[in-house]
Structure 1
Amino acid sequence: MSGAPLGSEIVKAPGDYLRGERCWERATTGPNRALRVAIGSCGLGHVRRGIEAWAEDTAAALHRRGVNVSLFGGAPGPGLFESLHCMKRHRGAARSVARVFRRLGGWRYGLGSAWDVEQTTFAFFLWLQVRREYDIVHVQDPTTGKILDHLHRLGLSRPRVILANGTDESVEWLSHLSAVQELSPVAASRWPRRGGNRHPAVFCVPNFINLKTFSAGDQEVARRRIDLPANALIVLCCAAIARFHKRIDYLIREFAAFAEGYAGAAFLVVAGAREADTDAVIALGRELLGERVLFLVDLPRTEMPQLYRAVDLFVLSSLFEAFGIVLLEAMATGLPVICNDTPTFRHVVGPAGLFADISKENGLARALLAMAQPGVRGPLAQAARAHVEANFSERVVVDQLLEMYGRVAAIRPL
């Protein structure tokens, strides 16, 4: 994504790449009141994944900066957010609706899957909350963002909508929206440069992490609290406990192969959300690893910092992600990382990573054998937190979010 940044003039939507100028102050001072921002996530309160972590972290960071921000979720929870009604993706009603409408082309209008049904029903109740008094709605759920953006274009909703592309949607799908936040330069570079105006306005702003919450600590104390073996090499993976995409079954098999060739004691911890095949994945882990594996299903995020402090290295077994907040959490705690060798992972992990082709059998096992050596993982661990501080800290990224909000708010109506 190259080219000179735009000047301070108000941008006419649809726009070009919008970056470089500080617009937050211009958009929130003078005769206009301060912008009111809504952060929404339909899974917040009943799902523990990256999107929900992003919503909580973003709203909290904006609040600390004095932004007039509200956080909306899909179920009551311990956080300070407003719960809205929606048909939950894991319940029978949402699945039944999706099953019926899937045969009728439901994917075209937000009813093609149980998650689509949850997003669509959440979008309706979120619209009722934000349609008059808010200026910006910021979401990562793609169907929710699409619906709210369409309502804005119809003149039925005041706030402009920004979709943070945490689900790696295609450029073709995203091109129908008004404003898109890509999370890495790799993703942003997919957008073709064309002369004249076009939709959408595209921003490149990464995810971030709270460095006070995720920081190194006493490993021995952390292991005692979680009841982990004191003298073992402990490997951690944080991801939905499922075969599809997160490939936890592959992780288990590769760890078993690694443990056979490793002279010391090794232990695997997998922490993540429950999926339809979680029980089968856990059964595979018990079969191949016995007592050398611990599964932590739906572990509250408040307990994650202690878990990171207790382990020696972090592994992400998925072949690709749009970003990967768990990578930031691990590196902020001082952990070296093993992940697939992709441009996005290289951008996010940087000098803290050992990159391998883990699409192949024994690819991860060989990487684990290499990382088991203190001389290999030591320098990576030392570089981890500094890399996050420089590129993905709250201090660095929230400035970029405020600039993005100011630019989107300054776009003239079509």
Structure 2
Amino acid sequence: MSQSQPAKAPPVLPISRADVERAAAAIGGNIVQTPCLRSETLSALTGADVWLKFENLQFTAAYKERGALNKLLSLTEEERQRGVIAASAGNHAQGLAYHAKRLGIPATIVMPRFTPIVKVQQTEGHGAHVVLHGEKFEEASDHAHMLAAKRGFVFVHPFDDPLVMAGQGSVGLEMLAAVPELDTLVIPIGGGGLISGIATYAKAVNPAIEVIGVQAELYPSMHALMNGQDAICDGDTLAEGIAVKTPGVLTAQVVRALVDDIVLVGERDLEHAVSLLLTIEKTVVEGAGAAGLAALLAHPRRFRGCKVGLVLCGGNIDTRLLANVLLRELARAGRLARLRIRLKDRPGQLFEVARIFDQQQVNILEVYHQRVFTNLPAKGLIADIECETRDRDHLDRLVEALRAAAYDVRMIETG
């Protein structure tokens, strides 16, 4: 009779529940304890009981302040005098710069040269010295490490640091304090700092709770790592805040031990989520911040019936990009459309088309009347008409009316 094998000891992880609780106590008076509120409309839409944690309401509009502040508070007086440095083109830069200035700690931020000027200005506005170096983030990060070694700065990693991870975990502590009955947490993953901190606390408080990570399909780095796959991470994703090619070493340990699953979301679901949060919740969220809702939209059966907590982890989105996302969503819903209509070269043709638009009570926004740059015969022409309708059915009725009047009509589809 064989003897039973002794049970394996659980892995020793980089942070514990106590670390998260200490971080929450340390930073509590200096960050916004953001609300965690139920969304009745999103709950009805997704079939889940949806609760939103509004981290986009932090002063710098992102949760990154929490981990950065926890790290800063741990520094000795000598380290504070030397100053801190980080490589970041986004929310980590602003969170670190803001709290470093508040604490009187010199901060240097290395950003890639392509970083939008508005982000450079915002970071400088928080008192940091910005160094632009390299074409890619990896080059900026290498330069930041070089400067840290050369000038004695303390390097503050955006995610792969136990103090940073613990600080981010305070988001989960607040969520479960506000809504203890949550049974599922859906958390965006870039480098893994946020989900590591939240999973550490949540699983210690309630081992049965599900912690689900979300990554953009274009940057599935942690998903691939957990599944033993090679990840191809490239492309312009709306969720730039979680577009991380190489996840953290420490964060990967926590994700492997405590995270139940990682799902991927496409660009269209991210765009739809950003649009829904603005139109329904009246809150501005960047692509990464909308990733949790995008997961519910992309995988509805996975979350139906669950009491789900979503972290709106950031609200820093370029206004022109936001406008583009909203217009594309209106186009997909049939409320905005561009129709390409073939006309005959004779008087009154455009008037007759406009009359049909009037009969159908459709608002014309723009008219492009094309005679030269077309492959039609010399006496043929095209009119592209942008219009506004009530919904998809209203648009379909307009197209039917135009075709009934013998016009060749084609819809110019959005992506």
- Output the TM-score relative to the length of structure 1: 0.28
User: Which one has a bigger Cα radius of gyration?
Assistant: 2
Higher relative contact order (CA 8 A, sep 6+): 1
- Output the TM-score relative to the length of structure 2: 0.28
